[in-house]
Amino acid sequence: ASPIATVAARPYPYSLPLASTAVIMIDFQKDFMLKGGFGDTLKNDVGLLMECVPGAQRLLAVARAAKLPIVHTLEAHKPDLSDLHTSKLTRGNLPEELRIGATGAMGRILVAGEEGNWIIDELVPLPGEELVHKPGKGAFYATGLEPYLKSKGITHLLFAGVTTEVCVQTTMREANDRGYECLLVTDATASYFPAFKDAAIEMIVAQGGIVGWAADSVALEEALK
Ligand code: TIU
């Protein structure tokens, strides 16, 4: 492959330098994606999220073959919940047993190290890939993500994850404001609300790519061949 690849993308072709591009896999966690997990308990249709697993697997395969750094994020609080704002704990007006830190079917909800907090088998990280535990929706807030990317000289970011309009869009906006050239892999992201996924993609590419670019994993695979 050439040192710069060009992806057929919206709103116009996206050029990525292979030596300074990383992939950010956002919150592909059991508690959001599996039956019996936290998301399911809150009456979300987790099957909608599983639809993006094949695209996310293709992205991972392409990125690993191209030796791009891969970051996996986890929405995860410390066991003592010292990194949990009261606003986040009380939001939703949920009963005690459904709150962050309570014990659910897959362990303590949104707590690091619990079974439900880990990534689904299909997208599990390989040794050497970076893990980022984040207390917020965005992956830059109160994490070591930016220093990590700077240490690797990263300028371009490819995004996948769940959910599109919550943690993925927040992180992509944070990255855009920090100067990163961002592309969302559209078949590697999903929402409990399909209309919100579609709207988030439109918001990203509108106004000449106000937040960045969008392309599917097949277009990315073609570009990196
Ligand atoms: N990862 C992520 O998006 N966390 C959420 O809480 N998303 C919801 O859509 N609820």
Q: For ligand 1, is residue 166 a contact (CB within 6 Å)?
A: yes
Report the nearest atom of ligand 1 relative to the CA of 167. Answer: 3
- Name the active-site residue from 27, 31, 40, 216: 27
Query: Is 167 tagged catalytic?
Result: yes
Query: Is 225 tagged catalytic?
Result: no
Q: For ligand 1, is residue 186 a contact (CB within 6 Å)?
A: no
Supply the pLDDT for residue 91.
96
Q: pLDDT digit string (tens) for 118-142?
A: 999 999 999 999 999 999 999 999 9
- Name the active-site residue from 30, 134, 137, 197: 134
* Rounded CA separation 111/84 (Å): 10
Output the CA 63–ligand 1 centroid distance in Å.
24
> Of 142, 193, 224, nearest to 39 (Cα)?
193
Report the nearest atom of ligand 1 relative to the CA of 42. Answer: 10
Of 2-6, 7-11, 119-123, 168-172, least confident by mean pLDDT is 2-6
Half-sphere exposure of 206 (CA within 13 A, CB side): 6
- pTM (2 d.p.): 0.98
Q: pLDDT digit string (tens) for 14-64?
A: 999 999 999 999 999 999 999 988 999 899 999 999 999 999 999 999 999
- Interface confidence, given as ipTM, is 0.97
Could you tell me the pLDDT band of residue 2, with boundaries at 50, 70 and 90? low
Q: For ligand 1, is residue 62 a contact (CB within 6 Å)?
A: no
* Rounded CA separation 8/29 (Å): 29
